[in-house]
Chains A and B, each alone.
Chain A
Amino acid sequence: MSTREAARKDFQLLVLRMYCWVLRCFPTQFREQFGGELLQVLSTDLQNPRPDASLLWRTDRILENLADLVASAACERVLEWRNKMNKKWILQILGIVLLSFWVILMSWGLGRNLLHWNVKDPYLLILGEFQSDVEVVFMDGTMFFAPLLAFVMFLIPLFRLKFQPGEGVLVQVSIRQPGRFMWILLGVSGLSAALWLGLIFLARLFG
C-alpha cells in the first residue's frame, strides 16, 4: 500500500470515528433500529465518491453529512422528549417555572433590601408605577404561596388513583417512587416552603 493510500485510509477511519461519535447523540431507540444501517450508508458514501470528485467536493460532502447528522440527532432528541411529555410533566414544568420565578424575585428583593443592591423594586418593574389592588394581592399571594404550590405540583403526579366500580366505589391510591430529579425538585421546593412559611410565622409571632 502506498503512503498516499495509507493516509487516505487513515483519514477515512478518522471521519468514520467522527460519524460514530455523532451517532451516539441519537436516542437509544433510534440507534438500535437504524444505527448500524446509518453507519453503513455513511461508510459507503465515504468510500465511493463520484469518479470526478475533487478534494473540496469530498470535504464538503463530509461536512454536509456531519451537519445533517447533528441536526437529525437534535430533532430526534426533541421528538423523544415530546413523546415522553405528558400531562404530569406539564404540571412539573409549571412547578419549576413557579419556583424559579419565586427564587429570582426573592434573591432580587433580598439583594435590594439587605445588601443594598442598586436595582429597581421588582414589584415596580413587573407591575409598573400604577399598581391596582388586585395586582398587588396577586403578586403577594404568588410570593407567599409559590414554594408550597410548586411542592404540591411536584407531589400530585406521584399519586395514582384507581377507581374500582362495583358495590360501593372503591378508590385505590398508590404512590409512585420518584426518580432522582423528582427527589431534588421535591427537596428544594419543600425546604423552601418550610423555611419561608416558618420565617413568616415566626415574624408574625414575635411582632
Chain B
Amino acid sequence: MKRRFSNSASTPFLTPAAFNILLALSEEELHGYRIMQKIDVEHEGQFRIGPGTLYRTIRQLIASGLIEESDERPDPELDDERRRYYRLTSAGKKALSAEASRLEKLVRLARSRQLLDTGGGVGDR
C-alpha cells in the first residue's frame, strides 16, 4: 500500500484529520468513537471528523506506522469487546511533535504580522 504519511519527523505535513487523531491519542489509548468525541470536545464542536474520514485516516496512519492497534483494553468489563483501541507509536509521537512545531512557527508568524492578540492563545479573538 502506498504510504500517505511518512513516519520520519522531517516530513512535516499531516492532514488536519490525521493531526487531530494523533493529538487525541497522545494522552491515552482510545477507540474510534472516543477519538471522534474527544476531537469534538477539544474543538468545542467547531471541527468534527466524520466516521468515514476517521477510519480512512486510521487506516493510513496504521499503514504509515504512526499508530497501532492496542492489545490491552483499559477496562474490559465496561467496554464492548468488538471495539478496537489504538495507540501512538514512537514514530507517531515524533511526527505529531514535528507537526505541532510547524504549526507553532506559523502561529508565531501570524502573531508577528498582528493577525492574533500578542498575549493570548491561538483560539483567542
Task: Give the Cβ gap from B37 to chain A, nearest Cβ, in Å.
Answer: 9
Q: Which of A62-70, A147-155, A163-171 contacts B (4 or more CB under 8 A)?
A: A62-70
Docked Cα-Cα span, A201 to B32, in Å, equals 67
B1 is an interface residue with CB less than 8 A from chain A:
yes
Interface size class of A (residues with CB under 8 A): 20 to 34
B56 and A42 form a contact (CB under 8 A): no
A82 vs B33: C-alpha distance in the bound complex, in angstroms? 29
Nearest chain B CB to A78 CB, angstrom units: 11
A72 touches B56 (CB 8 A): yes
Interface of A is mostly: helix
Would A69 and B2 count as touching, CB distance under 8 A?
no
Size bracket of the B interface: 20 to 34
Query: By the criterion CB–CB under 8 Å, are B56 and A75 in contact?
Result: yes
B52, A69: Cβ atoms under 8 Å? yes
Given contacts A30-B59, A72-B56, A83-B2, contact A37 B50 (CB under 8 A): no
User: Which of B6-14, B79-87, B102-110, B116-124 has 4 or more CB atoms under 8 Å from chain A?
Assistant: B79-87
Residues of A contacting B32 in the complex (Cβ-Cβ under 8 angstroms): 37-38, 40-41
B33 touches A34 (CB 8 A): no
Cβ B33 vs Cβ A40 within 8 A = yes
* Distance between A158 CB and nearest chain B CB, rounded to angstroms: 26
Tell me whether A40 and B83 are in contact (CB under 8 A).
yes
Which 8 interchain pairs have the tightest Cβ spacing? A68-B50, A72-B52, A69-B52, A34-B55, A68-B52, A41-B33, A41-B51, A41-B32
Q: List 21 A-B contacts (CB under 8 A).
A: A30-B55, A34-B55, A34-B58, A34-B59, A37-B32, A37-B55, A37-B82, A37-B84, A38-B32, A38-B51, A38-B52, A40-B80, A41-B54, A45-B51, A68-B53, A69-B51, A72-B50, A72-B56, A73-B52, A75-B56, A76-B56
